[in-house]
A = this chain, B = another copy of it.
């Protein structure tokens, strides 16, 4: 049987090369171009008939362009006779619009999931999906869906490259507790989350729920840095509470505007992210965890 073939879409080409190298799967070539009028052109250069196809594409920076590209790619692969289309979508946009906050609003997380399934996607692998009101990835996808985590590799990287004495893991808010816990278990250290406490009508302070931060080397763990506001505030609070040093980590470095600057200016010693979204602080690649997950299941039968 032909071995699986892996294609990198326009936000997945570098990861596709790395995953192909790690898995031994064939690296295919898909051409993606924009016409002068903004329409997307796509052409698969390899025969996919009867084969398991892995499609790597991360939906960020002009997410709508990538979403349309992804839907076109899935439909076309199916039309070209692919046996199964397995999507590797390291960063999955629209996950934060997961409920109708106000009447008349779009619930785009749900719609995007449906569109991918209807286009013919057979399986999906993603990394540290923003699950908040939706608690498990199986609540949002009807197809087999695997939510990997980059948190272990992120904190191992920090632990190796920064001189930390028994670090303390901190989640910047309650939602981040899920990742803080994984990070703490990985390094065998303790963790906590920050909370906003109202002191008076005018004054709010940010404190750790229970931990004493003073003199500690803190690693902040979160899923996304978008504008950097939450992270910068957390860094500032922790420095104010007496932390000796603070390193900020996240899986998805969206880094809108001056995010890095805000966090560094707030006093962070460093910022470390994964390459689900390539960025100047993407020191940790998710290629190995994706390759491992794929090798366990794809091309086995």
| Contact of A36 (CB < 8 Å), options: B8, B97, B257 | B257
Q: Which residues of B contact A76 (CB under 8 A)?
A: 104-107, 111
Stretch at the interface among A174-182, A200-208, A275-283, A290-298: A275-283
Stretch at the interface among A57-65, A146-154, A211-219, A238-246: A57-65
B265/A71 in contact, CB under 8 A: no
Interface centre among A17, A42, A64 (most CB of B within 10 A): A64
Q: Chain A: interface residue count, which band?
A: 35 or more
Interface centre among A37, A38, A260 (most CB of B within 10 A): A37
Complex Cα distance, B265 from A97, in Å, reads 30
A75/B261 in contact, CB under 8 A: no
A44/B97 in contact, CB under 8 A: no
Q: Which residues of B contact A93 (CB under 8 A)?
A: 37-39
| Contact of A280 (CB < 8 Å), options: B40, B44, B279 | B279
Complex Cα distance, B71 from A62, in Å, reads 17
For residue A264, CB closer than 8 A to chain B, the reply is yes
Given contacts A43-B102, A111-B71, A115-B71, contact A226 B257 (CB under 8 A): no
Name the residue on B nearest A67 (C-beta): B68
For residue A2, CB closer than 8 A to chain B, the reply is no
Q: Shortest distance in angstroms between A105's beta carbon and chain B's nearest beta carbon?
A: 5
For residue A159, CB closer than 8 A to chain B, the reply is no
For residue A45, CB closer than 8 A to chain B, the reply is yes
Q: Shortest distance in angstroms between A236's beta carbon and chain B's nearest beta carbon?
A: 14
| Contact of A17 (CB < 8 Å), options: B108, B111, B261, B280 | B261
Q: Shortest distance in angstroms between A84's beta carbon and chain B's nearest beta carbon?
A: 18
Given contacts A64-B64, A67-B68, A108-B72, contact A39 B97 (CB under 8 A): yes
Complex Cα distance, B39 from A226, in Å, reads 12
Residues of A with Cβ closer than 8 Å to B? 8, 13-14, 17-18, 27, 36-46, 60-65, 67-69, 71-73, 75-76, 79-80, 93-94, 96-97, 102, 104-108, 111, 114-115, 118-119, 226-227, 254, 256-258, 260-261, 264-265, 275, 278-280, 282-283
